[in-house]
Amino acid sequence: MRDRIVVAAAMLALAGPLILAPSLAAGPGDPIVAARQASMKQMAAAARAIAEMFDGKRAYEPAAFKAAADTLSARAAALAGEFPQGTLGAPSGARPEIDDARPVFEALARHIGRLTGALADKAGDAPPGITADMRMAGPPMDGGSLLGKRPGAAEADPAKMPAEHLLHLILQDCASCHSKFRRKVE
């Protein structure tokens, strides 16, 4: 399971330059796009910090864990509103398909918000060290397999999931959103 987090964090790190690369629209004429990019940078840095704590690449500190989880939660709460009409499509990396599939986009943003909110709640009670109940164990809790997700698995209560698993699901949702609604900006 930790390997999956490492892979997801690596994907986020590798995709970082694509995700965070300034678009041509982010110049002085488009503060919405610039603010959105700054928000994405904050989310990526927070997710990376938590992933590195679980992976042992960064010292676990409850206060740092809480700060990163709170950043994810706050940024996710504002996510859907950061993509208003008129700020999508070239030269921004946000695909205009966001407007065509606004209900899907907003549902994904709400799901990320639920997951990050649950992670922030758990981080509020973070113990002095990473405990076994914070870790993923056993088969994937989202029902993932080589054959796909089991029906109803995504409706599991995030409050009952380990923090590491919540992070994995957040990264998974971010990757899904980017694959659907983000284009590579050259």
CA distance readout (Å), 5 to 9, 17, 46, 77, 185: 6, 19, 14, 23, 26
The yes-or-no verdict on residue 128 having pLDDT over 70 is yes
The larger pLDDT score, comparing residue 14 to residue 75, is at 75
Residue written as tokens 């398909």? Answer: 97
Is residue 174 domain-resident?
yes
The whole-number pLDDT of residue 11 equals 42
Q: From the centroid of its chain, how far is CA 11?
A: 12
Is residue 144 domain-resident?
yes
Distance CA 109, CA 107 (A): 5
Host H or E run for residue 150: none
42, burial (CB in 10 Å: exposed 0-12, middle 13-18, buried 19+): middle
The whole-number pLDDT of residue 139 equals 53
Is residue 131 domain-resident?
yes
Range of the domain at 119: 2-22+29-181
The larger pLDDT score, comparing residue 139 to residue 172, is at 172
Q: What is the pLDDT of the chain when averaged over all its residues?
A: 82
4 and 168 in contact (C-beta within 8 Å)?
yes
**Strand, helix or coil for residue 26:** helix
Is residue 84 domain-resident?
yes
Is residue 62 domain-resident?
yes
Confidence of residue 3 (pLDDT cuts 50, 70, 90): low
Is residue 186 domain-resident?
no
CATH code assigned at 166: 1.20.120.10
Q: What is the mean pLDDT of residues 93-120?
A: 95
Confidence of residue 47 (pLDDT cuts 50, 70, 90): very high
The whole-number pLDDT of residue 85 equals 87
Distance CA 2, CA 130 (A): 13
Residue written as tokens 């990019």? Answer: 37
Question: What tens digit of pLDDT does each residue of 109-120 get?
Answer: 999 999 999 999
The whole-number pLDDT of residue 16 equals 43
Number of domains in the chain: 1
- Compute the Cα dihedral for 112, 118, 123, 129 and give only its sign: negative
Helix spans in the chain (H): 2-20, 31-55, 62-77, 97-100, 102-124, 163-181
Q: What is the mean pLDDT of residues 45-52?
A: 98
The yes-or-no verdict on residue 29 having pLDDT over 60 is no
Q: How many residues does the chain have?
A: 186
Question: Percent of the chain at pLDDT above 90?
Answer: 63
The yes-or-no verdict on residue 27 having pLDDT over 60 is no
The yes-or-no verdict on residue 72 having pLDDT over 90 is yes
